[in-house]
Amino acid sequence: MDPNTWVDTLYTYGPYAALALFTLYVAPTQTKTFLDCKADDRTKLAICGGIAALSWLIVVALIWFLLVSWPPKKVFVGDLGVHPAGSRFLAVSDDLYLGSKSHGTSGGDSDFQRLTWNYVIVLDQSAKSNAVFRFTYFYGAGELDYRDIKITRADLQQGRLDFEPGPTRGELRPTVAAQPTAASLLAARAHRTDLLRFGLPVAFADEPNLSALLAALDAADPAIRAQARARLADLPDETLRQLLSEPGLSALVRAQIERALQER
């Protein structure tokens, strides 16, 4: 057996195994030992009683732990709808994954020119209550043919969240969720670009370095621009207006900042 698989299995199912062990064997055995103790041996009776009580307390603690804190990660799956092959999605947040597959298996070439997209979000129990997961929808070849989408943790807690193309070009709107199916599972993880790999200052990854931010918004790679817009969304309105006042902004950079302001 692969050691990594063994460790993952133990980590996932270990608490359940411990609960079963204490509930079905340890606690009943210690209780029986306590009941079999002679009443005239008070020291032994106290020890047996303490061990039995401790065993049942462990059972209660394990049940509470599993109800409150387990599993340590939750997986949320949703559909992004059917889109032309020229459209694409880019995951910006670390714990959000995207995949696509050909829509349809027959009916001519037109079926294979459309793709069904899905997303998967892996939510850690330690994630903040206001955690936001971002991705970008590129619906055309133009530099401004994009829409930045965010899913909040509050959205996920309300149930399955699906999307579909709207009547307006580039619109992506939530839909009434269908029941999860095997077809909704992730097919592949989309390419995700790390800003630091493209020579941006380390400060940009930790603190909002405005010069690096403007450079990223003007990058040729749309993946870098999408990452930069995710940082842009975290800045206050005053900072965005300050960026708009910077001299020498390109039309592309100005348009992205103005759209970020309009979409708030």
Q: Which of 50, 44, 13 is nearest to 31 (CA)?
A: 50
pTM confidence score: 0.53
Q: What is the pLDDT of residue 68?
A: 73
Q: What is the pLDDT of residue 208?
A: 54
Q: Domain segments of the chain: what residues?
A: 3-69, 73-192, 193-264
pLDDT along the chain (264 residues), means of 10: 58 82 92 84 86 93 81 80 85 87 54 75 74 90 89 82 87 65 38 36 45 84 84 86 88 91 85
Q: What is the pLDDT of residue 263?
A: 84
Q: What is the pLDDT of residue 89?
A: 92
